Amino acid sequence: VRAVVGERCLISASYDLHGNLSRRVIDNLDMLSAFRTAPHIDREETHKRACDMLVRCLDEGIRPTLVWAPIPVLMPGERSSTEYEPAKRLWSQLPAINAREGVMDVSLLVGYVWADEARATAAAVLTGTRPEALHKTATELAQQYWDARAEFTFGVPTGTMAEVIAKAQSLPTRPVVLSDSGDNPTGGGTGDRADALAELLRMKVRDAVLAGIADRPGTEACYQAGVGATVTLKVGATLDPQASKPVEVTGKVRFLAKTDRLPERQAVVDANGIIFVLTARRRPFHEIADFTSLGLDPTAFKIVVVKAGYLVPPIAAIANPNLMALTDGAVNQDIEHLASRHRVPTYPFVPDLQWTPTTIVSARSKR
């Protein structure tokens, strides 16, 4: 973008707090604002902050200063939800800091742990008109984040898929929502793994719904068979067949989504009390309407399995309770054992890492 618009044009960016920054990105930006909530319920507010800064700078002829403090800590989003400590206290202070004179925006970013890149780190980023204050605050926030690094943990009970299924069955409440965290498509998972289905079948679970598994061949087979037909399918492992194994299952086609677009096709299959959704493309099930549009009421089941990490508000609202399965997949939670060839020395990959905060000013701010 910078190459297209030239040097004089101001650029303001809005970021997911799970984004990774680099010196190249920072040196081409004039201002930045990132989400302050995970789950992300402040998209609109973040976009507005980024736009407001840009409009103010244009109206008042301001050339802002952008200060970046990379923090060598990497946590998955599931350990850094702003609904739980320490992220709750770290992010809750940002609005008050944002109101300080000379500060136009203050952001904290968790980074993206599964990217084996040198730019994968947490970060504090400030935009404003008082460079000294920006450096001081960025340093303080970076130090706070660093000091809290050992506190980041899961906000809900966790276990293997078998363990959380067993726990769900033992609870008197319903629906118990299980997060298949290792195959979360919104976190970078393929969404095609059938491990959860295999475990539900092995444990002879009934009264459960699994939404969903990305499997275009299986979805197409259901459409060819039609509603009411009995189908035998090899489910899963269609996008990354080297990473997991398909599961053979026989069931009855219960529902087919009406759509003229092949990628939007979805099929609901009943395999002896286990209802599972096949989708032609990888996608999350974040809204109640994602279920009801397929003739499913998630609150009617004892167990609801979704491919997710932490739950977004609509699904969290029905979870009674939520349990997180620490499953295999492209975004598995066993981060300490991820291959790390390109990341800079980072906690927890280097558990005894020593570090002191430093700040970097955007090259744009120096002109």
Residue range 146-150: mean pLDDT, rounded: 98
Work out whether strand 208-214 and strand 230-235 pair parallel, antiparallel, or are unpaired. unpaired
Tell me which residue of 37, 63, 21, 74 sits closest to 333, measured CA to CA: 74
Distances (CA, A) of 16 to 35, 65, 136, 194, 349: 5, 21, 24, 29, 23
Measure the CA–CA gap between 360 and 65, rounded to whole angstroms.
11
Average pLDDT value for residue range 130-142: 98
Residue 138 to residue 315: CA distance in whole angstroms: 35
Q: What gap in Å lies between CA 357 and CA 5, rounded to an integer?
A: 33
For residue 49, the model assigns a pLDDT of 97
Q: What pLDDT does 172 receive?
A: 98
pLDDT at residue 85 is higher than 90:
yes
The residue written with tokens 């977004």 in the block is 312
Phi, psi of 345 (to 5 degrees): -50, 120
Per cent of the chain over pLDDT 90 is 99
State the pLDDT confidence band at 350, using cuts at 50, 70 and 90. very high
Amino acid at 53: M
Q: What is the pTM of this model?
A: 0.94
Q: What angle do CA 353, 355, 360 make, to 5 degrees?
A: 135
**Each residue of 241-287: pLDDT tens digit?**
999 999 999 999 999 999 999 999 999 999 999 999 999 999 999 99
Indicate the SS3 state at residue 42. coil
